[in-house]
Structure 1
Amino acid sequence: MVATALGTLGACAVSRYRFAGRKLFFGLVYSVMMSPDIVMGISLLMLFVLAGLTPGFLTLLIAHVTFCLPFVIVLVHARISGFDPAVVDAARDLGAREHEVFYKIIVPMILPAVLAGWLLSFTLSLDDVIISFFVTGPGFEILPLKIYSMVKLGVTPEVNALCTVLFLLTLAAVSAAHVLTKEIKR
């Protein structure tokens, strides 16, 4: 959620304003996306140690926001770049204020990309083991690390049940998205 909100705001700002260092900004965004998880995990661990942060929930949150944020920025920026600026100009010509243009024109247009960014961030966070391993402390366990530690000892019925529940939840979410997409098209 945090990466989605920050990424959406960042994409809106980058799309709207031209500034020195814009190419550098996108270079950094893409470099984070292309960095191997092990490099990201070790780098973030070193940063947290230098900053004096104790590994736990806060470091995990910062790490997950750091590696999910670029995906949201790229998705939302692509959506904003793809729509006609004449629509926004027409709303302004008809007397809409800036916040009305944003909430009534821009947000509905970028909502599919924002939702896609949120789903992608959720999936990436749920799937991540390596970065989470480096930035969480002892005694702090999240689902991917729990599954990983359970599988080390062999696949137990608990692991099978947990994976089945995750699969069924994913299937239900995909089915619901498919039905909603059909309803919206009508």
Structure 2
Amino acid sequence: MSTVSHWFRRNLVTLAGVLALGYLILPNLVVLAFSFNKPEGKFNYEWSKFSTDAWTDPCGVADMCGSLGLSLQIALLATLGATVLGTMVAFALARHRFRGRSATTALIFLPMAMPEVVMAASLGTLFLNMRIPFGFVTILIAHIMFCLSFVVTAVKARVMSMDPRLEQAAQDLYATPVQTFLKITLPLAAPGIAAGALLSFALSFDDFIITQFNSGPTTVTFPMFVWGASQRGIPVQVNVIGTTMFAAAVVLTVAGQWIGNRRKARA
């Protein structure tokens, strides 16, 4: 009994990590399983029989792939805009001292602590007052605004952990400011920039509340399509899209980890 107790105490953290990971992955496994289901009625809540119809025709539902393409387009553009702006803001906050720096930091991090419905209503009111038509542009601006804080957080943490002596050494070797940034600073900050970009893409792609307030009557993203379809029965193809996105995220994560391990091994 003492041996079992000793083994349990020694592996308690590992067991807790495995249980937490299993708890997070279990819903995705359910989505994967029901993507091969052929429900008898409108609702895909009970297993009926195995079928690959949804996988062979993922765009069989009207307007679903159109909304998916719109969400991907907005997510890519929002990620690009938030990453560029957020990286510049992060470098400014981490490397420079200027008047209003503390206030700027507080304003940047405020959207992370603010409820989404507050930011969504505020942006919607702003667009109404400025007489900007709701649609693709308003959604894109709103997504860049709330993704910006997460990019700044990730990049700033990375920049503050960088050793400034590496950049000073490059300058001592007669590197120009542009060469120092491209060959030293940017590669060192790349993990933080990549983390912020991936987080921005995920947040933008699955956002519903902010999009709902700023989308207009004719612009329907994928989360809005799923919400609308839930009232009359979510099609099986939604499970296919969810499984595909989850698999893509896992592949990107594993690939990034593998590349990082190879770089460490070479160093």
Same fold (TM over 0.5): yes
Please show how residues 124-143 of structure 1 align to structure 2 within 5 Å. Answer: 124-143=203-222
RMSD: 1.4
Mapped partners of 1:130, 1:136: distance in 2: 10
One-letter amino acid matched to 1:66:
M
Instruction: Tell me if the contact between 1:59 and 1:136 (Cα under 8 Å) persists in the aligned partners.
Output: yes
Following TM superposition, where does structure 1 have runs of at least 4 consecutive aligned residues deviating by more than 6 angstroms?
Answer: none
* Match in the other structure for 1:26: 105
* Match in the other structure for 1:78: 157
* Match in the other structure for 1:184: 263
* Match in the other structure for 1:172: 251
TM-score by length of 1: 0.94
Mapped partners of 2:255, 2:166: distance in 1: 31
Mapped partners of 1:13, 1:50: distance in 2: 31
Instruction: Tell me if the contact between 1:151 and 1:159 (Cα under 8 Å) persists in the aligned partners.
Output: no
Write the deviation string for residues 107-140 of structure 1: whole angstroms up to 9, x where unpaired: 0000000000000000111121000111111111
Instruction: Tell me if the contact between 1:150 and 1:159 (Cα under 8 Å) persists in the aligned partners.
Output: no
* Match in the other structure for 1:117: 196
1:183 is paired with a residue whose SS is: helix
Mapped partners of 2:200, 2:85: distance in 1: 12
1:147 is paired with a residue whose SS is: helix
Identity of aligned residues (%): 38
Please show how residues 22-101 of structure 1 align to structure 2 within 5 Å. Answer: 22-101=101-180
CA deviation after TM superposition for structure 1 residue 86, in Å: 1.5
Q: Which runs of 5+ in 1 are unaligned?
A: none
CA deviation after TM superposition for structure 1 residue 143, in Å: 1.4
TM-score by length of 2: 0.66
* Match in the other structure for 2:92: 13
Write the deviation string for residues 15-37 of structure 1: whole angstroms up to 9, x where unpaired: 22210110001111111111111
* Match in the other structure for 1:108: 187
Which of the pair is proportionally richer in helix? 1
Of 156-165 and 52-61, deviating more is: 156-165
> Which one of 58, 68, 83 corresponds to residue 4 of structure 1?
83
CA deviation after TM superposition for structure 1 residue 49, in Å: 0.6
Q: Give 1 or 2 for the bigger CA radius of gyration.
A: 2
Please show how residues 125-164 of structure 1 align to structure 2 within 5 Å. Answer: 125-164=204-243
One-letter amino acid matched to 1:174:
T
Instruction: Tell me if the contact between 2:226 and 2:234 (Cα under 8 Å) persists in the aligned partners.
Output: no
Q: Tell me the number of residue pairs that the alignment of Structure 1 and Structure 2 aligns.
A: 186
2:134 is paired with a residue whose SS is: coil
Write the deviation string for residues 23-75 of structure 1: whole angstroms up to 9, x where unpaired: 00111111111111101110000011111110111111110010000111111
One-letter amino acid matched to 1:163:
G
